[in-house]
Amino acid sequence: MSIIVRCPACGAKNKINEKTKKKPLCGKCKTPILIQQNVSPIHLSDSDFDNFIRTSHKPVLVDFWAQWCGPCRLMSPVLDSFANSQGSIVVAKVDTDRNPVTSSKFQIFSIPTLILFDEGKEVKRLTGAMSLQQLESLLKPWITIN
CATH number of 37-142: 3.40.30.10
- pLDDT tens profile 54-89: 999 899 999 999 999 999 999 999 999 898 888 889
Q: What separation in angstroms does the CA of 73 have from each of 11, 14, 19, 62, 78? A: 36, 38, 33, 15, 9
Q: Is the model more confident about 22 or about 74?
A: 74
pLDDT at position 145, please?
A: 57
Task: Report the SS3 class of residue 132.
Answer: helix
Pick the closest to residue 112 from 67, 80, 82, 142 (CA basis).
Answer: 67
Predicted TM-score (pTM) of this structure: 0.74
pLDDT band at residue 107 under the 50/70/90 scheme: very high
Give the lowest-confidence range in 6-10, 21-25, 100-104, 126-130: 6-10
In contact, 101 and 108? CB cutoff 8 Å: no
Residue 15 has pLDDT above 90, yes or no: no
- Active site amino acids: 69, 72
Compute the distance between CA of residue 23 and CA of residue 109 in angstroms, rounded to an integer.
Answer: 40
Pick the closest to residue 35 from 86, 117, 80, 90 (CA basis).
Answer: 90
Bridge pairing between strands 60-65 and 90-95: parallel
* Cis status of the peptide bond prior to 112, with omega within 30 of 0: yes
